[in-house]
Structure 1
């Protein structure tokens, strides 16, 4: 199963990373960053756009995906980030997972130097070490996937995230996972329209969970498989504060221009 495979790979990567920079050292570096740079709030950015009746798009930078393979041959994360910022992205999501998405922590570090938007570290986070690392790389938010973590683990990771001035976007794919995210204290919840077990995408997943999330009073994001303005409008009408779009943008010849079209 894909999820089990990727979790095992990430565990190995974390062990290797800690041999280079031990846990205590990474935590110290992250804690020092707290006073050096004020983080940018992803939640606030989304709420501000919603208040203006505008679409909040978190534009994603990724080179490949396990379901579609290579998405973009001419891949320049910095150029893509600049295009997104210029075209009106509310935030940028950067894939840092190396094996299946051909991402890199270096992509996040490089993007941080050229944009002043909130940055989301998109990865399969299974260890607090990765959260401290995200802070050091310049992230403002991290993705936590409810399917990979127990409720208590999510709770602990949210606490670490918030202690660093970051936010956790807790991702769910169904009601059970959304309830788990809420019970763990999530205030920013992303609904992944893609089933990570089958890779099938369906935006009805987000639409069906909208009323539950609205009632919970959380900031709501719909992720994956969103291709056009009609789908974005349906999600915003349902109560979502923002949408995360990757594949549709990075497959375009000019990702920034593709974003402009969706926002027009």
Structure 2
């Protein structure tokens, strides 16, 4: 099956490179709702995250619909299983033509290596990232509920090093750990940071958060923004406000 082209047409104008570094989380439950947001935001970014909520409701068709409009998809399913299962799943995701997808670093070195190998022969190889510590988890949860003695910051850096050793392209981590990851893993290691909330939006259910400008200053390559844009009365205006904030860095 021929891989869909990632960039096709633009209704208004293509976004600039700065805007493309803002990934919009399409946390909705239907293709129609997702496409409506994509159409409103393509002027500012072509980078969109499809997570469990949307993918499990709409299936692979929503990825094709986004790419047909000129968007590129970060598929956020956080694969976490035995190495053989994750390797097979990774190969299938790669064939969808996605830009990036992720696995859980806590699945271990062999699991991450299998994911990396599985996509190595795809013509348009997607970037494979490792999820380190969810932004909803803090030191207390790690210690008291998950039995991890390290702090969240130390655990993130340790898992990032493991992901690099496995041959993955980068990690998903809180903005708070971006600088330490950069120092440990080098300039070419991709850092994608969720937990990004503008000062004019509440923290929601995330604990280790930062503003868009702060996340980039700390070393993020890409930031993920969801509800502050997608649930705003005017998503385009909210996105424009974020772009203006990061333009003056």
Q: Fold match, TM over 0.5?
A: yes
Q: Which residue number corresponds to residue 132 of structure 2?
A: 172
Distance 1:55 1:175, change over 3 A: same
Cα distance per residue 1:114-149 (max 9 Å; x no partner) = 2x23211111323234334324444222112212x2
CA 1:81 to 1:38, structure 2 compared with 1: closer, same or farther past 3 Å?
closer
Which of 172, 176, 181 is equivalent to 1:204?
A: 176
Q: Which residue of 2 aligns with 1:144?
A: 103
SS of alignment partner, residue 143 of structure 1? strand
2:76 to 111, 114, 122: 122
User: Does the 8 A contact of 1:142 with 1:169 survive in 2?
Assistant: yes
- In structure 2, the residue matched to 1:220 is 191
1:93 is paired with a residue whose SS is strand
Unaligned runs of 5+ in 1: 1-31, 41-47, 65-72, 194-202
Where in structure 2 are there 5+ consecutive unaligned residues? Answer: 8-15, 81-85, 134-155, 201-209, 245-249
Shift of the 78–55 alpha-carbon distance from structure 1 to 2, 3 Å rule, reads closer
Give the Cα–Cα distance (whole angstroms) in 2 for the partners of residues 234 and 55 of structure 1.
17
Cα displacement string for residues 181-223 of structure 1 (whole angstroms, at most 9, x for unaligned residues): 11111223221x3xxxxxxxxx42435544334x364122212
Within 5 Å, give how 1:1-264 maps onto structure 2.
32-33=1-2, 36-37=3-4, 49=17, 56-63=21-28, 76-86=33-43, 88-97=44-53, 104-114=59-69, 116-126=70-80, 127-147=86-106, 149-164=107-122, 165-173=125-133, 174-191=156-173, 193=174, 203-213=175-185, 215=186, 217-228=188-199, 231-264=211-244
Larger RCO (alpha carbons 8 Å, 6+ apart) = 1
Give the superposed CA RMSD. 3.2
TM-score (norm 1): 0.63
Could you tell me the TM-score, scaled by structure 2's length?
Answer: 0.66
* Aligned mates of 1:228, 1:103 — CA distance in 2: 32
Which secondary structure state, in structure 2, belongs to the residue aligned with residue 227 of structure 1? Answer: coil
Which is further off, 130-139 or 177-186?
130-139
Contact residue 95 and residue 103 of structure 1 kept, 8 A? no
Aligned length: 198
Q: CA deviation at 1:170?
A: 2.2
Q: Select the structure that is richer in helix.
A: 1
User: Take 1:98 and 1:258, find their aligned partners in 2: how far apart are those partners?
Assistant: 22
